[in-house]
Chains A and B, each alone.
Chain A
Amino acid sequence: MMQAMRTHDPSDLGEPSFRTEPTHSEDGVDLTLIHWMLSLSYEERLLVLQSNLRSLRGLGVASTRE
């Protein structure tokens, strides 16, 4: 029988919690991704986008080979 997975807050385990502010806005937008993107230079932001597209393309190639 599958047991329900129990999740722990790091502080339960004596580990420091890293959550000092909400990770998502009320409408569900991931704020951590926005903060990360804002920490990058303009060129790095474009390279992230190009890298994502390359990865998606790679996934497409992989799925057609299966």
Chain B
Amino acid sequence: MCLAIPARIVELLPDDQCRVELGGVRKDISLALVDGAAVGDYVIVHVGYALTRLDPEEAAQTLALFAEAGIDPEAAFADDATAAAAAQ
């Protein structure tokens, strides 16, 4: 719900603020809800506030799950069998 978008912290600013960048666009937002964020981290931004940090490893794993979904186990098996037969 609540429209929120991942953006990269490019600069830390005083008063719990930071500058984030998304697709080349920069905006100053608040880090008051997130502790320990550093330049280079990605945060989820909602109404001018960072809600949480984004975990790059989890993101990569999720994308891998999507890719894995696209592989039809039946087809993969058939390909293996065909490949095995061709190698004979």
Task: Say if A and B assemble together.
Answer: no
Q: Which residues of A contact B (CB under 8 A)?
A: none
